[in-house]
Amino acid sequence: MPIQLNPWLESVAFPPIAEVRGWAEGRSFPRSRPLIDLTQAVPDYPPPPELIADLAGRLTDPQTALYTDLEGIDPLRRALARHHRAVYAADLDAGDFIITAGASQAFWLALLAVCRPGDEVVVPVPYYFDHIMAMQALGITPVLVPIREGQAGVPDVTDLAALLGPRSRAILLVTPNNPTGAVIPSAVIDEIAELSHRHNVALIVDETYADLLPGGRAPHSLFRRSDWGEWMIHIYSFSKVFGMTGYRVGALAAGQRVREAALKLHDTMMICAPHPAQLAALYGLEHLGDWVAANRAEINLRQSTFAGALAALGSPFRLEAAGGYFAWLRHPFPDQTDFEVAHALFDEQHLLTLPGTVFGPGQEAYLRLAVANVDASDLEEVAVRLAASGVGRL
């Protein structure tokens, strides 16, 4: 007799990237029109050689094979505090941070620190599907905030406030947004922060892609509030900024009560983030500022190249939002579903894109493209293929 599975987990959809990539299994593609995979936010650039060389040298030390402190190695947390002080113009120190196995684990820690089964988290649509999958697996209810036309990834504060109720335990914001790339304006974040404070719910702010924003201005002022640790939980990732997604290293910043709760979970899940990955992140923070700036410029060049190519070609696909690793397109086929359009683009133009509805209900008119996967010239080719698809022929 088969074993019984967790019924909450049985209700969780299978990861959609694997499903879409499965379309290409067993297929071959001509050299004149190779497959271009725009599904996953995985950078096409490796970590810089000097980071790899430094890590390789450190691995000869047997200490790197041992656990670190639960919170992570102290030099990395101090370096991260310096980084955040510079970015947010805020007074932070090493004790505010826990180093995690990627931003994904940081999110699980945040979620479990404040929620029980049956609790609710208010989430703007379109959302990052992994966040919803985690909530469903834990018996936590995502309460979805529909995004108004033309505001992809930026929630309306009035709409969000209307969905807060007695079971609400958190509001989740992702900025720059995954999947749309849209950046939530600081003023909107401030309003939502006041809302969370007023309703005594946590504000979880996921800024995995914040290092890709043009520098010069703090993304928000939340860290400058003296009581931020009482209501905000912040999620950060080293993976994308240093091109080391497989190393699995991120961070959570929170007040003492949340950190203590999160550390209980962290000990049972991981004990600590991988020691070598923490050393790689430390090297990045201490030595790779110029590399990060050049990489940021490259990603922004890809965004502008793609947007310019779409406009120049008069593409029927409309760019609704863009930023970080992502472009959010409205497709021109109202009589076809997003999955039908995505599959047709794969069959006809050899483009792999993600259908909008994997990021939430009501997103049938959209596709997500991950622009970090390919260089600028390939993005021009993507625009050409989209324009060539032809309205009504798919």
Q: What does the block give as tokens for 154?
A: 């930026």
The distance in angstroms from the start CA to the end CA of the chain is: 46
How many domains are contained in the chain? 2
Predicted TM-score of the model (pTM): 0.94
The pLDDT-based confidence of 271 (bands split at 50, 70, 90) is very high
Assigned domain for 394 exists? no
378 and 231 inside one domain:
no
Q: What range defines the domain where residue 331 resides?
A: 7-46+291-389
The burial class, CB within 10 Å (0-12 / 13-18 / 19+), for 46 is exposed
Domain boundary residue, one of 272, 287, 302 = 287
Assigned domain for 322 exists? yes
116 and 222 inside one domain:
yes
Assigned domain for 20 exists? yes
Assigned domain for 57 exists? no
CATH number of domain containing 362: 3.90.1150.10
307 and 218 inside one domain:
no
Is-cis flag, bond preceding 176, omega within 30? yes
Assigned domain for 211 exists? yes
Assigned domain for 51 exists? no
Domain boundary residue, one of 266, 287, 308 = 287
Assigned domain for 52 exists? no
What integer is the mean pLDDT of 214-218?
73
pLDDT of residue 393: 53
123 and 25 inside one domain:
no
Is-cis flag, bond preceding 214, omega within 30? no
Radius of gyration of the chain (CA): 21
381 closest CA partner among 306, 318, 298? 306
DSSP string, 171-235: EEEESS-TTT-PPPPHHHHHHHHHHHHHHT-EEEEE-TTGGGSPSSS-S-SGGGSTTGGGTEEEE
The pLDDT-based confidence of 391 (bands split at 50, 70, 90) is very low
In angstroms, the Cα distances linking 334 to 192, 321, 353, 357 are 34, 19, 18, 14
Q: Which residues contact 356 (CB under 8 A, 6 or more apart)?
A: 126, 179, 338, 363, 364, 365, 366, 367, 368
Assigned domain for 124 exists? yes
Note the pLDDT tens digit of each residue in 151-195.
888 899 999 999 999 999 999 999 999 999 999 999 999 999 999
The pLDDT-based confidence of 390 (bands split at 50, 70, 90) is low
Note the pLDDT tens digit of each residue in 334-383.
999 999 999 999 999 999 999 999 999 999 999 999 988 888 889 999 99
Q: What does the block give as tokens for 6?
A: 């967790």
Q: How far apart are CA 237 and CA 80, in angstroms?
A: 11
320 and 377 inside one domain:
yes
What integer is the mean pLDDT of 378-390?
89
Q: Which helix (H) or strand (E) holds 347?
A: helix 338-349
Question: Do the Cβ atoms of 113 and 263 come closer than 8 Å?
Answer: no
Domain boundary residue, one of 287, 307, 342 = 287
Question: Do the Cβ atoms of 197 and 69 come closer than 8 Å?
Answer: no
Q: How far apart are CA 81 and CA 372, in angstroms?
A: 27
Question: Do the Cβ atoms of 327 and 319 come closer than 8 Å?
Answer: yes
Query: Locate tokens 């969000």: which residue?
Result: 160
Q: What is the four-CA torsion angle of 191, 194, 198, 200, rounded to 10 degrees?
A: 110
Q: What does the block give as tokens for 346?
A: 């794969």
Give me the amino acid identity at 76: L
Query: 131-140 burial string, b = 16+ CB within 10 Å, else e?
Result: bbbbbbebbb
332 closest CA partner among 320, 350, 349, 346? 320
What integer is the mean pLDDT of 275-286?
97
CATH number of domain containing 99: 3.40.640.10
327 and 269 inside one domain:
no
- Is 219 a residue whose pLDDT tops 50? yes
225 and 296 inside one domain:
no
Query: Locate tokens 């029109």: which residue?
Result: 33
296 and 283 inside one domain:
no
201 and 243 inside one domain:
yes
What integer is the mean pLDDT of 36-63?
91
103 and 199 inside one domain:
yes
